[in-house]
Amino acid sequence: MKKLIPFFLLVILFYSCKKENDNIIWERSLGQGNAFFIEATQDSGMLSCGTLAGKPYLVKFNMAKSIETDFTSDREGLFSSAWSDTSGFIAAGSSKGKMVLARIDKNGYKVWDTTIIASFYLDITSILDEGNGKFLAVGSASPDSAAIIETNILFVRFDTAGQISKNWESSESGFVSANNASADMSGNIYLPLTRKFGTKKPKASIAKYNKDLYKLWETELYNNPDFTAVSYDAFADGTGNVYVTGRMEATNMSGTLNNSFLASLSRTGEVKWKKYIENSNSGSSVIADDSEGLIMLNRNCFIIRKVNANDGSDDGIIRMYSQCDSYTTDAFGSDMNISYDGNFLAAGSLGGNFYIALKSSQ
């Protein structure tokens, strides 16, 4: 005969399990894959994209958090960036080393898609809205694929009809990755760069380009030549400040350890401050919001940090899971944003699945 668990123990068990994610307002897992991008939409919904079952995937949720539109490409690969308006979506990513650009209507049907071949193996693409139906796509190798010897950065300008007006590769030497491009209100472009020359360790930096794709400056982020450093995301606010996050190795008593970092730069590329935010982690996303201030997402366990923009000091930590070991977790955050009601949108993977969540900002 099976033993029955007393009712009061069931209540305790329920609340102890619930406590691990009691600040998550809403979450959704959509199957094997990874969500690389998330943003709030103008109609108070949310837009995310990534890879699902090995295919580029895009999903739009309405204000009630029900799926309004979704689209799965017939290619292999992923979508790493997206844009939307009332008529539909633009998505960008990669397939078998080529850049992928796609237009999807509001009902989830493909209007057009295209692949663009670069001289190197391309993993990720960011798209920037340049206004008037025109976009800039920035494609590169992943910053985590530095074993590749030679790469470049691919810039493609195109419009909502799929017409390409510019297709240009930068002239780089060695390995370079430009992960998650950002732009300011003047049309300047900021690329969080990872560079590697020969057998040396990868270095983290950030570069600023003008709207004509001329590089204005590039700043290294105090790399220790004995350790690996990687840049993952950049954000330019409306006052001329630029922020970049990623990971840098350091040593402790148990050996080499990853630390997430966050740095602030002026519009001329001068480093104002740099902080190591979280042990055994990587900074995967950074944003600055009028109401919430400067916020960064640490990849392992979706750990969110509020940071004082003036000096980089800690303004508070928000954990998605109260019990989560960043050394052994299967919860990985790729991107974050702010929802229409001021809470945090987070995208990534949980247990190997495409995962998005709405997290309380308190």
DSSP of 282-333: -EEEEEEETTTEEEEEETBTTEEEEE-TTT--EEEEE-S-SS--TTT-SEEE
Burial track 220-247 (b if 16+ CB lie within 10 A, e otherwise): ebebeeebbbbbbbbbbbeeebbbbbbb
CATH code of residue 349: 2.130.10.10
Residue 1 placed within a domain: no
Q: How confident is the model at residue 206 (pLDDT cuts 50, 70, 90)?
A: very high
Q: Please tell me the predicted confidence (pLDDT) of residue 102.
A: 98
Convert the pLDDT of each residue in 258-293 to its tens digit.
899 999 999 999 999 999 999 899 999 999 987 778
3-state secondary structure of 261: strand
Q: Is the pLDDT of residue 20 over 80?
A: no
Q: Regarding predicted confidence, which is higher, 17 or 318?
A: 318
Q: Please tell me the predicted confidence (pLDDT) of residue 148.
A: 76
Q: Regarding predicted confidence, which is higher, 361 or 325?
A: 325
**Chain-wide mean pLDDT for the chain?**
90
Q: Is the pLDDT of residue 44 over 80?
A: yes
Q: Please tell me the predicted confidence (pLDDT) of residue 41.
A: 95
Residue 306 placed within a domain: yes
Residue 222 placed within a domain: yes
Distance CA 200, CA 226 (A): 8
Query: What is the pLDDT averaged over residues 25-50?
Result: 96
Convert the pLDDT of each residue in 106-126 to its tens digit.
999 999 999 999 999 999 999
Q: What is the DSSP letter of 361?
A: -
Query: Encoding tokens for residue 42?
Result: 């103008």
Q: Please tell me the predicted confidence (pLDDT) of residue 1.
A: 39
Residue 176 placed within a domain: yes
Residue 252 placed within a domain: yes
Residue 209 placed within a domain: yes
Q: Is the pLDDT of residue 251 over 90?
A: no
- Domain containing 47 equals 7-359
Convert the pLDDT of each residue in 49-91 to its tens digit.
999 999 999 999 999 999 999 999 999 999 999 999 999 999 9
* Whole-number percent of the chain with pLDDT over 70: 93
What are the strands, taking DSSP E only, across 141-270? 154-159, 164-169, 175-178, 182-183, 189-196, 203-209, 215-220, 229-236, 242-252, 255-265
Q: How many CA atoms lie within 13 A of 32 on its CB side?
A: 3
Q: Which candidate, 62, 117, 130, 52, places its Cα nearest to that of 90? A: 130
Q: Please tell me the predicted confidence (pLDDT) of residue 21.
A: 56
Q: How confident is the model at residue 152 (pLDDT cuts 50, 70, 90)?
A: very high
Residue 327 placed within a domain: yes
Distance CA 157, CA 168 (A): 9
Residue 264 placed within a domain: yes
Q: Is 152 exposed, middle or buried (CB count within 10 Å of its CB: 0-12, 13-18, 19+)?
A: buried
Q: Please tell me the predicted confidence (pLDDT) of residue 217.
A: 97
Listed range (57-61, 144-148, 158-162, 301-305) with the worst mean pLDDT: 144-148
Q: How confident is the model at residue 230 (pLDDT cuts 50, 70, 90)?
A: very high
Q: How many domains does the chain have?
A: 1
CB-based contact 331:3 (threshold 8 Å): no
